[in-house]
Amino acid sequence: MKKLILLSATFLLVFSCKKEAEKPVANDALKTDVQAFLDDYSTSFTKLYYDSAQAEWDANTKIIAGDTTNAYNVQKANEAYAKFTGSTDVIKKTRTFLEQESELDIVQVRQLNTILYAAANNPETVSELVKERITAENAQNETLFGYDFKVNGTSVTTGDIDKVLRESNDEAERLANWTASKEVGKGLKDGLENLRNLRNETVGALGYDDYFTYQVSNYGMSRKEMRDEMNKMVKEVWPLYRELHTWARYELAKKYNADVPEYIPAHWLPNRWGQDWSALVSVEGLDIDGALADKDPEWIVKEGENFYKSIGFDALPASFYEKSSMYPLAADAPYKKNNHASAWHMNLENDLRCLMSIEPTADYYETIHHELGHIYYYQAYTNPNVPPLLREGANRGYHEAIGSLLGFAAMQKPFLEGKGLVSSDTQIDETQNLLKEALSNIIFLPFSAGVMTEFENALYAENLPKDKFNEKWWELAKKYQGMVPPSERGEEFCDAASKTHINNDAAQYYDYAVSYILLFQFHDHIAKNILKQDPHATNYYGSKEVGTFLRGILETGANNDWRDVLQESVGTGMSAKPMLEYFNPLMNYLKEQNKGRNYTLPESL
């Protein structure tokens, strides 16, 4: 999902838990004044938000080397947005109103805290610093998305590189493509250091220790609390991850006719960052790529839309198809675009768009269901009960959880059977299918909750020196993923910066770790309590009850605290228990496979 501008879903203050009867009688005049302020602010905010979104959209969908038009428009729009949201007068008024928060409606309080949160990223007191940061962010994006990747002197796309890493058995070819994928980091290293400094200084003007702490506060948590939560997640899945890592070392060594390595060379894995290993396993009978080979990319989008309609959601507006950029550019196109899949809520109303480059593959079949999850989340909370300032997920992780949940559900065998992509009489190896799922979902957590979270904590909160960027990245990859580079990677490289989020979605990657935990909580509840089906074999298609459950989570936006939303929907707080239960049948299989093998990861972190 494209997290375009900083709009809070949870806030800086910890709200009172006193009963309604214990609060002072509401001051109607004060509430009227606050509402007038919120209405005026929202009117200006939504216009500036849209202007910024449109400029960002253009910059991501039409990248022309040497053309500065997009950069100028983004700079201009974002400076106007920053000037308004960071206004000293706005900050002063908001803080004054919050001094009397006990007399206000909770939704008013949440909006006021949203305003303060946004202001901290753009405070007028350091307006020149904010302008400098915006300029630096634009330059970083242009360098990142306009980069010409080359393998043996021939230009390739990141999609080409990913295909080689997923499919090639030629180790030399894999190494050449993996190495090419990291070259972009060299030109981003200085910019990343500069952005770290500018981001830290900007939020420091409103009292935050650093940018990582600022972003974490969106959850109502301290930096320590978030890191503790992430480490807890990794520790909970570690026994299974350790089995998967041992299994993969031996299987990959066999594949490449090599000695079993102590740690996995990065170019052996089917993902540029080692965050998804699912391509290591193919499940006989689940040849989704083959079933989709003759399909048009638009057919895949329509299939995704039909799924959401089947569970009770509305059709997408015609403008979605007219304004989105969902298909690959022609080979001779005179410009490039950002191919990273994302969903955009352009105006916090009905201008909904997707940016991606869909091809008829299983990956994109899952991805379209994921991205449309964001789109339908936008659509659900765009209603009169949710003010524009609270048109966000209950927290940032919720948005990813809903997208991932529907992508996950769309890949289960009963669902695929119902769509005619798998024959009903096809017998599949359930253990291999579960292994494939674990190589995606379990493998991701040490990367997201471990490597990415700890790297950005070190970068922002610990002021990691530039000449330690690459060393730290690979230190964390070895510790959390058991992965090492193919050869020495010195500080002339910046391999972390090859990851898009490090540059333009900074200090928020734990959102994805949270989303995977929530995904399995929601899925477990749907399977057991609504569909009455085995969580390993569900079919959401056509279930209006599933749609009703999901809508109950989506349509309130950020009106309510995310913890309350979770408790009310599934009856518990955030927990990895459903995920661990889902993959528990795999442990005995892996232990049997790994009998007599050497484990190189520690038993616990």
Domain with 316, as residue range(s), is 284-428+510-574
Does residue 135 sit within a domain? no
Whether residue 16 is predicted with pLDDT greater than 60 in this model: the reply is no
- Range in 3-17, 303-317, 400-414 the model is least confident about: 3-17
Q: What residues have CB less than 8 Å from 409, skipping those under 6 apart? A: 369, 415, 523, 538, 540
The pLDDT value given to residue 48: 98
pLDDT tens digits, one per residue of 246-302: 999 999 999 999 999 999 999 999 999 999 999 999 988 888 989 999 999 999 999
Does residue 521 sit within a domain? yes
The pLDDT value given to residue 354: 98
Quote the CA–CA distance of 166 and 505 in Å, as a whole number: 26
Mean of all residue pLDDT scores within the chain: 94
Whether residue 418 is predicted with pLDDT greater than 80 in this model: the reply is yes
Residue 230 or residue 7, greater confidence: 230
Does residue 306 sit within a domain? yes
The pLDDT value given to residue 204: 97
Instruction: Check residue 321 and report its DSSP letter.
Output: H
pLDDT tens digits, one per residue of 299-349: 999 999 999 999 999 999 999 999 999 999 998 999 999 888 999 999 999
355 three-state secondary structure: strand
Instruction: Tell me which H or E stretch contains 585.
Output: helix 585-593
Per-residue burial over 246-279, b if 16 or more Cβ lie within 10 Å, else e, is bbbbeebeeebeeeebebbbbbbbbbbbbbbbbb
pLDDT (mean) for 180-189: 98
Does residue 369 sit within a domain? yes
Nearest-10 crossing angle of helices 510-525, 562-570: 20
pLDDT band for position 8 (cuts 50, 70, 90) = very low
Question: 567: which 2 tokens?
Answer: 């408790």
Question: 111: which 2 tokens?
Answer: 């909006």
Quote the CA–CA distance of 71 and 130 in Å, as a whole number: 16
Whether residue 470 is predicted with pLDDT greater than 60 in this model: the reply is yes
Quote the CA–CA distance of 324 and 326 in Å, as a whole number: 6
The pLDDT value given to residue 424: 86
The pLDDT value given to residue 75: 93
Does residue 463 sit within a domain? no
Q: What is the full DSSP assignment across 81-98?
A: HHHHHT-HHHHHHHHHHH
pLDDT tens digits, one per residue of 567-591: 999 999 999 999 999 999 999 999 9
- Highest mean pLDDT range out of 2-6, 61-65, 148-152? 148-152
Whether residue 384 is predicted with pLDDT greater than 60 in this model: the reply is yes
Does residue 518 sit within a domain? yes
Question: 313: which 2 tokens?
Answer: 């959601």
Residue type at position 473: W
The pLDDT value given to residue 340: 85
329 three-state secondary structure: coil
Whether residue 1 is predicted with pLDDT greater than 60 in this model: the reply is no
Which whole-number Å values give the CA distances from 147 to 63, 122, 355, 360, 466, in the listed order? 10, 29, 18, 25, 22
Cβ(457)–Cβ(223) below 8 Å: yes
Give ∠ CA 86-90-95 in degrees, rounded to 5. 110
Whether residue 7 is predicted with pLDDT greater than 50 in this model: the reply is no
pLDDT (mean) for 425-429: 89
Whether residue 20 is predicted with pLDDT greater than 80 in this model: the reply is no
Give ∠ CA 67-70-75 in degrees, rounded to 5. 125
Q: What is the largest CA-CA distance in the chain?
A: 77
pLDDT (mean) for 71-97: 96
Whether residue 18 is predicted with pLDDT greater than 70 in this model: the reply is no
pLDDT band for position 206 (cuts 50, 70, 90) = very high
pLDDT tens digits, one per residue of 395-406: 999 999 999 999
Quote the CA–CA distance of 147 and 187 in Å, as a whole number: 9
The pLDDT value given to residue 223: 98
The pLDDT value given to residue 4: 41
pLDDT band for position 13 (cuts 50, 70, 90) = very low
Strand pairing class (483-484; 264-265) = parallel
- Range in 20-29, 327-336, 460-469, 545-554 the model is least confident about: 20-29
Per-residue burial over 301-311, b if 16 or more Cβ lie within 10 Å, else e, is bebbbebbebb
The pLDDT value given to residue 140: 96
Whether residue 10 is predicted with pLDDT greater than 60 in this model: the reply is no
Whether residue 5 is predicted with pLDDT greater than 80 in this model: the reply is no
Does residue 288 sit within a domain? yes
Whether residue 9 is predicted with pLDDT greater than 50 in this model: the reply is no
Cβ(162)–Cβ(272) below 8 Å: yes
Question: 417: which 2 tokens?
Answer: 């059977």
CA 116 to chain centre: 24
Per-residue burial over 325-343, b if 16 or more Cβ lie within 10 Å, else e, is bbebbeeeeeebbbbbbbb
- Which of 456, 450, 455 shows the shortest CA–CA distance to 471? 455
The pLDDT value given to residue 22: 43
Q: How many structural domains are present in the chain?
A: 1
The pLDDT value given to residue 286: 84
Q: What whole-number percentage of the chain has pLDDT above 70?
A: 96
Quote the CA–CA distance of 150 and 181 in Å, as a whole number: 8
pLDDT band for position 56 (cuts 50, 70, 90) = very high
pLDDT tens digits, one per residue of 503-550: 999 999 999 999 999 999 999 999 999 999 999 999 999 999 999 999
Other C-beta atoms within 10 Å of 384: how many? Answer: 5
Does residue 536 sit within a domain? yes
Question: 278: which 2 tokens?
Answer: 């699912």
